[in-house]
Chain A
Amino acid sequence: MKIRDISRMAWDQVKRRKVVTGLCMTGISIGCAAIIVALSIGQSAQTYVTDQVNQNFKMDEITVTPGGGIPSRGGGGGGSGESNENLDPGKLTAQKLEIIKSLNHVVAAAPFEDAGYMQMLTVDNKIADVQVKATDLRMLTEFGFKFKQGGVTDLPGMVVLNYGATLGLIDNETRQKLYEQLGADPFNSALMDQYNSMSTLPSEMYRQQVQLQATDYSTSEGNIRLSSALQVGGILSTAEGTDDLRASYEKIMYVSLETAAQLTQQLSFGTNNGMTPNVEENSYKTVTVKVDSTDNIKSVEAIIQKLNLNAMDNLYQQEMLKEQFDMIKMAALGIGVFILIIASISIIVAMTMSTHQRRRQIGIMKVLGANMGQIRNMFITEAALLGLLGGLLGVLFSYLIIMGLNKLVGTAGDSLNFVIPLTTIPVGLAFAIMTGVLSGIYPAISASRTDALTAIKRD
């Protein structure tokens, strides 16, 4: 019997038995839609969270710190004084930085020394807490930073601010007052709104003069020291999709290593309390290495480790997320399959009923020469066709569900957008057809075993 004939006869039956077809299609379409929607939600959430993680943790970067062994003066502990590399092989020196820069697959390498949090003062007495990072300012663009205003500069006393550092600059008096009010009434939404709007208030900082202020909290007097005047030579752009409020949470001032050394002298209180810059020349606490592809991260790391240095990447974040999302996907798939199993019961019932109703027809076909295999194939093809139709309806349903979900999420103001990856459609259809075929096996076997004589006998 030709496939075309079997398919045509199956199609005739599907068209003819509208109620059975409708029942079976409904069951399968729900299961198929559940699988597609579940996989799509899992995939969309994974993409969303991965994007978020990528914004915070750059996956193509390696953080290099001094290696272990004999305690390093330049590494971890900081401090000043002589150091002997022979005694301290784990030290992260300028020489090692040059070696790292010359490695294959390394796009850029530069120290990013965290010089602590300080208050930034503008000429009009506005104030903001900023994190000071000492680096080679000329390398910023190599690390993917884009300038909103200004550009690369290595002149002494020049600083670069990220966009967040230009937001929420307010005078000390207003700031203290607002803090006190919030402290007294922390659940006052009007005050919170006022605080949020002030936090995102932009200030024109490009080419402005600023000073850094360090406070010695180790003494009861709280001695304050001010740095020399610094000029803002550039403002960095924010990452795509980051709103002002979120940008305002991260205020960073990038200074050159030379400027950082000056600040160390100007603002140091002699004790390292973590709130004053403490940067040593030619020896680094942290170097960031940008690699051309995440595929090469591990090989570059291996070479760096041979220099007696510690290398740490952010790939574990992705792996951790992948494991979590794989679990979510499996759970979603499980739910879809469970629904399909329930749906398959409806097909088994409907098709078994159909087999009984068509016993006479099966009997006639057998008398006319149809063998058991041909009868079985006719029923299995019919079930597969029901699965396919249910699957197609399920695809339509899943698009409607995803549209509805996107409207719902859109109303909630979240930037999460659900999409149906094209790869999930064949998965959903395959499950639907498989459910049809598996559900059709019992009715098909039952049909093929119909006794022709009993079937054609009339009472």
Chain B
Amino acid sequence: MLRVENIKHSFKTGNEWTTVLHNINFTVNKGEMVALLGSSGSGKSTMLNLMAGLMKPTEGHIYIADHDIVQMGENKLAEFRRKHIGFIFQAYELITSLTVRENVELPLVFQSISPSVRKQKALALLEQVGIPDKADLFPSQLSGGQQQRVSIARSLITEPSVIFADEPTGNLDTKTEEEIIAILLKLNQSLKTTFIVVTHELEVAEQMQRTFSLRDGYLINNQQPPADAESAEGGAG
């Protein structure tokens, strides 16, 4: 499903090059829910941005559904993201001028899907994330947990191959955090969607099927996928 091959990423500060990711290799199978664990500065956010196609690695390849996203141009990547990638942000990132339902529908708007189909799908997903009654409210009228549920529903509406969740519980209290993780686990089970959750919290990572740990740009723990899954390669930096 997702294959990361020999990823190295550096950036220039002044006259010096700093490498933030060193020869990262891992594979995530279809329907898996994995954690990318690391403390601040470990390179986990950079890794997420590379996997989402928001930036290009200095070296290496990233395959999602057998497409090398590193080779894609901006518009091709946009189209690819639209069809194959879902995003859950730490700060929810909802459009404040749109209602909850309209926010959930937004990715489908970019795919020119008809309003009736969009509405039907959005309402079904809001039901799944437990806020069917909030469809016509605006984000500012919701709590943090509820906003994150909207963000989850939005990430699922295009039925993507993989969903990247960037610190999805980072802005939430413990109780809400548990609720959100429970929702993600439930959706992973029911929809068989692949989830990659970036977190710095061990408690969150422990609830995932596998964890990749990053430290100072090196992959220090690459748990092998379950035996019945696709073959996987590991690689530590």
* Chain A residues in the interface with B (C-beta under 8 A): 1-2, 4-5, 9, 12-13, 16, 360-361, 364-374, 452-453, 456, 458
Decide: A12 and B98 in contact? CB cutoff 8 A: yes
Chain A residues whose CB sits within 8 angstroms of the CB of B109 once the complex forms = 1-2, 5, 9
**Quick check: is B75 within 8 A (CB to CB) of the other chain?**
yes
Whether B54 lies near A365 (C-beta < 8 A) is: no
Tell me which of B54, B106, B111 has the highest count of chain A C-beta atoms within 10 A of its own C-beta.
B54
Q: Which one of A2, A12, A16, A367 contacts B87 once the chains associate, using CB atoms below 8 Å?
A: A367
Among A372, A452, A453, residue most surrounded by chain B Cβ atoms (within 10 Å): A452
A2 CA to B49 CA, complexed, in Å: 29
Which residues of chain B have C-beta atoms less than 8 A from A372's C-beta?
A: 74-75, 78
A371 touches B54 (CB 8 A): no
B75 contacts A368, CB within 8 Å? no
Q: Which residue of A lies closest to B164 (CB)?
A: A367
Of B57-65, B88-96, B191-199, the one touching chain A: B88-96
What are some 30 contacts across the A-B interface (CB < 8 A)? A1-B109, A1-B112, A4-B115, A5-B109, A13-B97, A16-B97, A361-B95, A364-B93, A364-B95, A365-B95, A365-B106, A366-B78, A367-B87, A368-B81, A368-B87, A368-B106, A368-B154, A369-B81, A369-B83, A369-B85, A369-B107, A369-B158, A370-B82, A370-B110, A371-B79, A372-B75, A373-B75, A374-B110, A456-B89, A458-B91
CA distance A370 to B80 in the complex (A): 10
User: Which chain A residue shows the least CB distance to B158?
Assistant: A369
What is the interface size of chain B, counting residues whose CB is below 8 A from a CB of the partner? 28
Q: How far is the CA of A364 from the CA of B106 in the complex (A)?
A: 10
What chain B residues lie within 8 Å of A366 (beta carbons)? Answer: 78
- Whether the Cβ atoms of B106 and A371 lie closer than 8 Å is no
Contacts of A365 in B (CB 8 A): 95, 106, 110
B75 to chain A: which residues have CB within 8 Å?
371-373
Question: Is the CB–CB distance between A369 and B82 below 8 Å?
Answer: yes
Looking across the interface, which residue of chain A has its beta carbon closest to that of B154?
A368
Q: Which residues of B contact A (CB under 8 A)?
A: 49, 52, 54-55, 74-75, 78-79, 81-83, 85, 87, 89, 91, 93, 95, 97-98, 106-107, 109-112, 115, 154, 158
Taken together as a complex, chains A and B put the C-alpha atoms of A161 and B112 apart, in Å, by 80
Q: Which residues of A contact B95 (CB under 8 A)?
A: 361, 364-365
In the bound complex, do residue B49 and residue A369 qualify as a contact, i.e. CB atoms below 8 Å apart? no
Q: How far is the CB of A10 from chain B (nearest CB, A)?
A: 12
Contacts of A367 in B (CB 8 A): 52, 54, 81, 87, 93
- For the complex, give the distance between the alpha carbons of A458 and B75 in Å: 24
What residues of chain B lie closer than 8 Å to A4, measured between beta carbons? Answer: 115
CB atoms of A369 and B79 under 8 A apart: yes
From the candidates B49, B55, B107, name the one contacting A368 in the complex (CB within 8 A). B107
- Bound complex: CA of A368 vs CA of B88, how far in Å? 10
**Chain A residue at minimal CB-CB distance from B74:** A372
Are B78 and A369 interface neighbours, CB within 8 A? Answer: yes
Residues from chain A with Cβ under 8 Å of B158 in the complex: 369
Residue pair B110, A453 in contact (C-beta under 8 Å)? no
**Complex CA distance for A368 and B78, rounded to whole angstroms:** 8
Q: Is the CB of B112 within 8 A of A2?
A: yes
Closest chain B CB from A210 CB (angstroms): 86
Q: Tell me if B106 and A453 are in contact (CB < 8 A).
A: no
